[in-house]
Structure 1
């Protein structure tokens, strides 16, 4: 009988109109999940493009927690709630 441990990792990302790069980022995360339980924390700075829709498309593959800001607070401010 063996003990199997799952590694848990949290990743924080701050987004603002990131539709051009977010899919590649998410695919990269998903491709490297073997034996890892991932929680993705997204802090969105009021994106006006398809960033949030693209992120939600991945909710069946990884656990995603989202904070949507009402305004663009910048990257540094985005790390605080993340």
Structure 2
């Protein structure tokens, strides 16, 4: 189970999450940051420092943000 970055990150780009990720799983995209589900070790460090509360464990993503699970996976071209 990986963490997922959702809509509050759109345009935010503060990058605090990238500084604390111990495995460098977070990458910057054109509109937001994304977490590589193959590299994420589910430590939760990114979630704790996100200034806009945009990061959730995949099984805790709010219903209205579920599309970001696929958006995140598509960024890394991984299957669901």
With normalisation by structure 2, the TM-score equals 0.32
With normalisation by structure 1, the TM-score equals 0.31
Between structures 1 and 2, the one with greater helix share? 2
